[in-house]
Amino acid sequence: MSSSYTSLEDLGEVALSHKSEVEEVKRSIGIQHGYFDAWIYGFLENKKFNIEETVAKLHRRFAMEISELAVHEENDFMYESLRKGIIQDIGNDKDGRVAFYINTKRDFPESKHREEQRRTFDMFVSYGTRLRKENKRCQLVMLINQDGASMFKNVDMAFQADVALRISKFYPGMVDKMYICKMGRTLAAMAKPVFRTLPAIVSDRIKIIDEKDIKEGELLKYFDASVLPVDLGGTNDCDTPSHWEDYARRVETYYGGLKDAVGNQGLTVKEWELQELGVDIGRKSKNPSFANSLNSISFDSFMANSFAEGPLQTCISEDFDARSGMEPYPNVVGMTWTEIMEPFPHSLAVFFLDELVRWREAIEEEEQIDRQKIVQGRDAGLSEVNKTTVTDQMVRKEKVRAACCSCTH
């Protein structure tokens, strides 16, 4: 390919209009080619095209690769989890994105295994978002089969929220679409109109697919029949132990190569993936500033805050604003969070909105602290930031509780 090549060409005119910002980010981290442009665009878009914040976010991603991805060790629990058929890669959708098939009823999360679940999550997602010739944006879609699943037995809400935070921090824009299939009739009937009223960042990405939709072939608009599982109206008989085993081995092989490349060869994940595609960018001789930028990162705060305690549940970016639960979005015609929560039991409404607030607060606090440490290189002023954050948290939580109380009266 020519020296002027940019993978933004694969994304269309909107992405190409931001080529100058992508180039500025690349100059800051010493990348001198266009193979990663589409991947970097996901970080830039997530930070609303703020150059400085995007560079800081990429540094945090590179630090995570070294301090976490390169040192994860697979234990017996993880080995078995990979082979339970909870998650598997079943092919690509019609737009060339990796399709994850998630069978919720097979997941029985326990808080004592959250650390192993986090590591298994990284293995699944790193493999699913690998750099590929047909999808340089490194995105995937999720087909979530809820048939027979219990919210109480098969869903760990705390883990779901923290995985969402991890996605927004280290894999921004990773999930382009989510198809939630075979949800209980009552919940689906209530969820469909609710999702239609939510901001486009949610409603355009998440689709509720019920039995009627499946029978009418709704999913065949997005997936070839040979990719779509039999249970969801396709011909792909993939939901068997032999397929789970095959997928687990592919993930393990990929992850072994990743660990060696990052831990022993000094490459980033995407550099290694590019080499696996047969492209040698010669980073060590051509881009020393990139290597130096990685070596200069301090991991102290990163290791302390990279993943708070807690299956894959969201594609919402870290800039999604829950409005502390209460106010409607500007210029959006639809329901307020108070109206959305009104049909739910009081305790569930409080829990759900508290989780949204906690998620947003965690993002704000960690981004403020990490950004100051990495970009400014000092800790000055953090005490004032923390004071402001704590005050804001108290005000928001009071708004949530007051609104939830109004839902039940």
DSSP of 67-113, one letter per residue?
IIITT----HHHHHHTTTTSEEEEEE-TTS-EEEEEEGGG----GGG
pLDDT for the residue numbered 71? 95
> Of 288 and 275, which is predicted with more confidence?
275
Check whether 259 has a pLDDT greater than 60. yes
Quick one: pLDDT band at residue 381, thresholds 50, 70, 90? low
> Which helix (H) or strand (E) covers residue 216, if one does?
none
The region of weakest confidence among 63-67, 141-145, 356-360 is 356-360
Measured CA angle at 237 (ends 175, 124), to 5 deg: 35
Cα–Cα distance measured from residue 349 to residue 344, given in angstroms and rounded to the nearest whole number: 6
Check whether 279 has a pLDDT greater than 50. yes
pLDDT for the residue numbered 348? 56
pLDDT for the residue numbered 325? 34
> Of 39 and 286, which is predicted with more confidence?
39
| Tokens found for residue 19 | 């080529």
List the beta bridge partners of residue 100. 89, 142
Quick one: pLDDT band at residue 104, thresholds 50, 70, 90? confident
> Of 312 and 196, which is predicted with more confidence?
196
Q: Pairing between strand 87-92 and 140-145?
A: unpaired
Check whether 384 has a pLDDT greater than 60. no
Q: Pairing between strand 98-103 and 87-92?
A: antiparallel
The region of weakest confidence among 105-114, 125-134, 216-225, 307-316 is 307-316
| Tokens found for residue 120 | 């298994």
**Average pLDDT value over all residues in the chain:** 77
Cα–Cα distance measured from residue 258 to residue 262, given in angstroms and rounded to the nearest whole number: 6
Share of the chain above pLDDT 90, in %: 45
Task: Assess contact for 55 and 28: CB atoms under 8 A.
Answer: yes
> What amino acid is encoded at 367 in this protein?
E
Check whether 247 has a pLDDT greater than 90. yes
List the one residue out of 302, 307, 264, 260 whose CA is nearest residue 62: 302
| Tokens found for residue 288 | 């020393």
Mean pLDDT (whole number) for 311-324: 36
